């Protein structure tokens, strides 16, 4: 405009920027991904805490905490009632993984949530020589591994609950199952599964079943009656227990207060139901609590095939 004599000429310093322009339109610089790291297991742990919009589980859990190893991407999930339980669960995690891998946790990376900055947490870091890496304020992308894991888990939980037609209170069972499966499948960062990198052997997936579907459970011989059904009907949700490979836990629809726990041939009272695979007949794609047209068509097709 100065060349057209519309405004007077003035000198512009090289590299200078208009103050008003910067104040009005300054964007954030893109977050540059870190270079590829060659770390050993437990050298760097990513952690974050997530809340499911205040929805409580059947055990009155409100939060879940993720602990992800950077080298293997193996993830542990713990459910908490209150935030002050984080230190107790971190101690449990530290004792287990250090005993299993015969190594020590070197660094823990987290956001600036107050739950990671308690005096007890700081004393625990100092006592065990753990370096606590704190990301910059308002920069969740710096803790992207934990943030992305939270999003992946919550997306899977929503999809599983919607498919099975269960209420939001069952997010605990869906979350543990999703985390269990994700640890045993490939991701784009590694050519091997997190479980294989963590344990040192390939995982077996033959015991996996459809989550939330209808199942029939055969009553053990010691509990069978000459007159009466030999199976329990409408047992759900079906879920894989991370600590017990091949053992399934279900909720029996007919009983509301007391459940019976069958593990092999033994039986005792418990809040949940656990069954060995030989007691189970799974009806895949049959979801009794789902009222959508698609699920009804699936149920009709399966029933026709059974008949």
Q: What residue spans define the domains of the chain?
A: 44-199, 214-306
Q: Count the Cβ atoms, other than its own, within 10 Å of residue 296.
A: 12
Residue 298 reports pLDDT greater than 50: no
Calculate mean pLDDT across residues 251-274. 36
Question: 3.40.50.1970, 3.40.140.10, 3.30.420.10, 3.30.565.10: which CATH number matches 44-199?
Answer: 3.30.420.10
Q: Bigger pLDDT: 33 or 52?
A: 52
Tokens of 26: 């300054």
Is the confidence at residue 37, as pLDDT, over 80?
A: no
Q: Give 69 or 280, the one with higher predicted confidence.
A: 69
Three-state DSSP state, 144: helix
What pLDDT score does 206 carry?
79
Return the higher-pLDDT residue of 193 and 304: 193
pLDDT digits (tens, 9 = 90+) for 147-172: 999 999 999 999 988 888 888 988 99
User: In sequence order, what are the residues at sequence separation of 6 or more whose Cβ sits closer than 8 angstroms to the Cβ of residue 121?
Assistant: 86, 87, 132
* pLDDT in the model for residue 209: 76
Q: Please give the angle made by the CA atoms of 165, 170 and 171, to the nearest 5 degrees.
A: 105
Task: Note the pTM of the prediction, 2 decimals.
Answer: 0.76
Residue 263 pLDDT: 33
pLDDT at 194: 94
pLDDT at 296 over 60: no
Provide the mean pLDDT of the chain.
76
What percentage of the chain has pLDDT greater than the value 70?
A: 68
**In whole angstroms, how far apart are CA 81 and each of 56, 65, 90, 114?**
9, 11, 14, 16
Which one, of 193, 172, 290, 195, lies nearest residue 241 by Cα? 172
């Amino acid at each position: 405009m100065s060349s057209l004599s519309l405004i007077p000429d003035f000198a512009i310093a090289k590299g200078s920027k208009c103050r008003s322009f910067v104040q009005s339109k300054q964007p954030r610089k893109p977050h540059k991904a870190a270079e590829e790291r060659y770390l050993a297991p437990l050298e760097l742990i990513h952690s974050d805490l997530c809340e499911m919009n205040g929805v409580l589980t059947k055990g009155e859990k409100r939060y879940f905490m993720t602990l992800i190893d950077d080298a293997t991407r193996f993830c542990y999930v713990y459910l908490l009632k209150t935030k002050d339980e984080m230190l107790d669960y971190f101690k449990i995690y530290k004792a287990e993984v250090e005993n299993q891998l015969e190594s020590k946790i070197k660094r823990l990376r987290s956001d600036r949530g107050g739950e990671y900055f308690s005096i007890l947490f700081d004393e625990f870091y100092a006592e065990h020589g753990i370096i606590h890496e704190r990301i910059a304020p308002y920069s969740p992308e710096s803790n992207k591994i934990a943030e992305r894991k939270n999003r992946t888990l919550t997306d899977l939980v929503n999809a599983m609950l919607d498919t099975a037609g269960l209420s939001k209170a069952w997010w605990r069972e869906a979350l543990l199952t999703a985390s269990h499966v994700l640890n045993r499948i490939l991701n784009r960062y590694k050519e091997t599964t997190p479980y294989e990198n963590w344990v040192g052997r390939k995982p077996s997936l033959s015991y996996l079943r459809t989550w939330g579907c209808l199942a029939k459970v055969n009553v053990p011989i010691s509990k069978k009656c000459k007159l009466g059904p030999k199976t329990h009907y409408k047992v759900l949700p079906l879920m894989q227990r991370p600590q017990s490979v091949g053992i399934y836990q279900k909720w029996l629809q007919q009983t509301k207060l007391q459940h019976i726990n069958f593990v092999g041939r033994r039986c005792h009272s418990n809040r949940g139901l656990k069954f060995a695979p030989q007691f189970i007949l799974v009806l895949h794609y049959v979801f009794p609590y789902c009222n959508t047209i698609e699920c009804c068509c699936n149920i009709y097709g399966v029933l026709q095939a059974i008949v």
